[in-house]
Amino acid sequence: MALQNETLILRGEKESRSENALIAANAIGSRVRERRVLEPAISTHDHEEVARLIASAQNLMHRTMLMMLYATGLRRAELCHLKVSDIDSERMVIHVRQGKGGRDRDVLLTPKLLETLREYWRWMKPKTYLFPGTVNNWRADVPITEKIVWKAVAEAAKHAGVSKHVSPDTLRHSFATHMLEVAPICARSRCYSVMPS
């Protein structure tokens, strides 16, 4: 009888410890979720905040990269591997080669972005890759790395006074959000250009 009571006590203590561990885990999870709610990234709905971020880029190359991310919704790797020949100003599209899933696609090229790209081309004069990288600290006809894109966004956010976490994907998500905001308006007015110029 004493052994049976001791077994029941031990089982009760084990269940109690399990319940306490579960409560503690839930509490930690709640704090993490609460922190994510209290510390959101840059607002994807705020056009002015995005414009301020792009305007705070450190140089024309960085500003063009940020504009490309926002105006086209490109992924980082896609941006890095863009070639000068991918810019089709006649059809007003940008050809994305071997994107996600190894598929090619076209994205819209707005007049404002085309104007910036022309200014950038006159300044940088890229040959093959739109955003050339470096080899041994010398400019070379190779694609930039994704690290350069991250650095461009981080520096722009710092100079724009944005203390919250901002990444290249933030601009990509802002593109998607703003397209959803503009698309219904365009549909009502029979407008087929969903991105503002």
Q: What is the SS3 assignment for 94?
A: strand
**Same domain assignment for residues 18 and 109:** no
Q: Is residue 194 part of a domain?
A: no
Q: What is the SS3 assignment for 128?
A: coil
Q: Is residue 184 part of a domain?
A: yes
Q: Is residue 113 part of a domain?
A: yes
Q: Is residue 108 part of a domain?
A: yes
Q: What are 42-92's pLDDT values in tens digits?
A: 554 467 888 889 999 999 999 999 999 999 989 999 999 999 999 999 999
Q: What percent of the chain has pLDDT over 70?
A: 65
Confidence (pLDDT) at 175: 59
Q: Is residue 116 part of a domain?
A: yes
**Same domain assignment for residues 84 and 20:** no
**Same domain assignment for residues 63 and 32:** no
Is residue 104 within 8 Å of residue 191, measured between CB atoms? Answer: no
- Residue with the two structure tokens 């941006």: 79
**Same domain assignment for residues 145 and 70:** yes
Residue range 104-132: average pLDDT? 95
**Same domain assignment for residues 179 and 125:** yes
**Rounded to an integer, what distance in angstroms lies between the CA atom of residue 41 and that of residue 166?**
6
**Same domain assignment for residues 32 and 85:** no
Q: Is residue 122 part of a domain?
A: yes
Confidence (pLDDT) at 26: 56
**Same domain assignment for residues 24 and 114:** no
Q: Is residue 193 part of a domain?
A: no
Other CB atoms within 10 Å distance of the CB of residue 103: 9
Model confidence at 137, pLDDT cuts 50, 70, 90, reads: confident
Number of domains in the chain: 2
Confidence (pLDDT) at 29: 52
**Same domain assignment for residues 20 and 74:** no
pTM of the model as a whole: 0.68
**Same domain assignment for residues 92 and 24:** no
Structural domain including 29 reads: 1-39
Q: Is residue 28 part of a domain?
A: yes
CATH of residue 57: 1.10.443.10
